[in-house]
Amino acid sequence: MKAWPVFAILVIQGILFLGHWLVFSTVVAAFPCLSPAAIADLRATIFVLAFTFVAVSLLAFRFSNFAVHLFYTIAAAWLGFVNFFFWASLLVRLVWLVLPIAHLTRNPAAARSTIAGVFFALAALAGVYGLINARIIRVRHVTLQLPHLPAPWRGRRGVLLSDLHLGPVNGARFCRRVVGMAARFQPDIVFLPGDLFDGTHADLDRLVAPFRTLTPPCGAYFSTGNHEEFTNASHYVEAVARAGIRVLANESVVVEGLQIAGVPYHDSTHIIHMKAFLDGLHLDRSQPCILLNHAPTRLPLVEQAGVALQLSGHTHGGQFFPFTWLTRRIFGKFTTGLNRFGALQVYTSTGAGTWGPPLRVGSASEMVVFTFE
């Protein structure tokens, strides 16, 4: 393994350990009634939980079986819960500091357990809500008006499915559910702008098999996201192609006067590569072009090239706090939904699936149904 992945793993593990330690120390301080034996058991449990997600993620890159999938799902869910427990711990300690100063109670020490209990209960409820909310896939209906749209495309429907993250948490059953939802709208075309897979070791053909039943008359089109490029992207690309989906890797096709192009995630991250790709397309500006670009980036280059619509994902809408806030700081208004960058329209989907913690609070899983006008 190269040095930088090892360094990244150590940093992530260090952050997780410190977060778990804060939760543990806050619980112990809040509930002095805990016996030494209970504290020792809690310490051991928290210590083990602090290492579970990193450990099982490494396993999932090597093995694919029921035990690994179950372990991964539990560890990922706990990671979401501990995020809320972490913020609850910070708030608890802040309130503890403010209470004596504000003179809101005659005995601040006696109120510590109640305050902690309320905040931790709210954190647990947020986690439960997040688990349920993440499994509810909303259907977004969007009307698209593209310049120079060929007459045959007027009134047609397209479906955008981004970030399914098929793998240990979202398996073949989840894929069948999503494909079944899409099929009900009888789309004329399907767009898949990356992160169809989670990037872990899996039976790729089995995971993507439901797409073989989805046969839109104008085809289904895919470009890779960052998760397909964690390792050798060719394995994922070949599985997608075997499922009857056209892979667009720095290329474009013309479908009844509509140009559809796709760029791999890695190339989109380099300005020189992205510009070379766009220049090489030689787009016909009398025909609209739709670009599959996993992340909502390189918009000035894309607009300059004459692309009418970019379809992206990647952001997940942040999934839950504080990442909902962080993605807004990074991508601004292009974090979610349909927005404009000059003459370019950009739709960024929050995605149908999740990565890491299978939770959503402040964001929603979605499938987008376009109607061309």
Tens of pLDDT, residue by residue over 124-148, are 999 999 999 999 999 999 999 999 9
Lowest mean pLDDT across 16-20, 49-53, 98-102, 361-365: 98-102
Bond prior to 288 in cis (omega within 30° of 0): no
Give the Cα separation of 230 and 57 in Å (integer): 13
Residue 164 and residue 336: Cα distance in Å, rounded? 16
The answer to whether residue 1 scores a pLDDT higher than 60 is no
Enclosing H/E stretch for 57: helix 36-60
Give the pLDDT mean for 239-266.
97
Region 343-368: what's the mean pLDDT? 98
Q: Which of 281, 357, 345 is closest to 319 using CA atoms?
A: 357
* Calpha distance 141→122 (Å, rounded): 33
- DSSP per position, 269-318: TSHHHHHHHHHHH---TTS-EEEEESSS--HHHHHHHT-SEEEE--SGGG
For residue 2, pLDDT over 70 is answered with: no
For residue 159, the SS3 value is: strand
Specify the pTM. 0.93
Residue ranges of domains in the chain, CATH in brackets: 3-133 (no CATH), 139-372 (3.60.21.10)
Distance CA 37, CA 34 (A): 8
State the pLDDT confidence band at 110, using cuts at 50, 70 and 90: confident
Question: Tens of pLDDT along 46-84?
Answer: 999 999 999 999 999 999 999 999 999 999 999 999 999
